Structure 1
Amino acid sequence: MRNLKLIVAFDGTNFSGWQKQSNAPTIQGELERVLGKITNNSVILHGAGRTDAGVHAYGMAASFKTDSLIPLPKLLRGANSILPSAIRILEIKEADPDFHARFSTTSKTYLYTIETGAIQSPVNRLYAVHIPQDLAIEAMQQCLDLIIGTHDFASFEASGSRDKSITTGRGSIRTLQQANVHPTTKNTLQFVFTGDGFLRHMVRNIVGTVLEVGKGRKTVQGFKVILEAKDRSVASATAPAHGLFLKKVQYNKE
């Protein structure tokens, strides 16, 4: 059996997230359908993680095993010719037999984009969240500095993120190597997060709460209290999905 690794980019606007569903279009579902058709196999695709409805990706990693001998360039061309235009496989390569797109992950990087101008360009409306006001970037960065390192992120964990009856493992503890916000243009801000893993809605919940600090509705000290509370009910609303992009998935040998 060949073990193949894919790098996939997608616009998640019209999909119900990554994970296959029986009654809605998903990224995994479309990829499995197309790859199965070309390889004449039943394909079970493993993604590096699950993205929610409306979330996008520049570089989602995935893997599957197949006994098909089809050359990789032909598989790449064939899949992209059939896939919906909102999904493209950027790369396919042979992987080690024990490689698994999810369990072999060492880190992921997410981007979240905000537009602050009075009027949002309509071409950006599906990829950036519009907040038409000046935001306190320095105060927001002070909040983000507090979450770098290893912390219990229960305050930013969505319901259903994990089975809380399981007492082994790391629970809601994650390690972030990077958490920054910076201007990319005059009216655009971008959050960047890199970590060894992310809880469900974790990035969007952090952004939603940090934005309250940027708007002057919460303080940096208040954010610190929220982080230490380990209680989702004290944090702010979840930021919208469409501003979020999975940028890259990293593995040990890369």
Structure 2
Amino acid sequence: MNILILEDEPLVAKNLEKLVQQLLPQALIQGPLASIETTLTWFRKHPEPDLILSDIQLADGVSFDIFQELNLSCPIIFTTAYDEYAIRAFKLNSIDYLLKPIDKNDLKCAFEKFSRWQQNSPTELFSEQLRNLLHDLENRNVRQYKHRFTAHHQRAVVAVVDTRIAYFVREEVIWLVTTDNQRLITDYASLDEVEDMLDPAQFIRANRQYIVRKDAIESYRTHYMGKIELTLIIPAKEEIVISKDKAAQFRTWFEV
């Protein structure tokens, strides 16, 4: 059996070769190849291998570009340090993906899947693996952000959903100000505590005193000194200013 290794990190490639030799001593190992360019050149001179072990991030780009250009029929076991590529990998003849650092038992399981692939319909096996992958991803620990916040209104405790929040402000205590201009006292000890619970795609720490929700920002203008001044749909007691150092970060966040 011919196995081609695509890997741009020499130590990782050496370790992978060693694991393959231990698990499949009869295999003929080709490579390792470190880039898209060298891989494309290699395929112009060699027939397809029986199996490819491919890192996703190579020296000059992502290996997906190789397989999309060549339209290979041989199966692939992807190796990667990033889960984000996993779904895309399963659209490209992938029978498994392994997270780095590569574990010997994980590689052994991948080779066993390859053996089953040789005996079954590839489409059927890919569907099974994709279902398993989605199940794994759904059950991983995903950061959950808070969407309901309690605050005091007169003598009652009320819950405020995040879409009704205009901003949080620290004025001795932490106040929550709603989009209809209600000012409610919270029990939070600091803005740091509040910030940690909020979705950073929707809220930004403007400065030491304010956390602002994106949809509550009506407009902004850049001061001649480079800082940013915000105008909210609910006016604050004072001007909300973002420092010059955070201005570029704010503009990127606000445009998404």
Fold equivalence (TM over 0.5): no
Which TM-score applies when normalising by structure 2?
0.22
Higher fraction of helix: 2
Q: Answer with 1 or 2: which has the greater Rg.
A: 2
Which TM-score applies when normalising by structure 1?
0.22
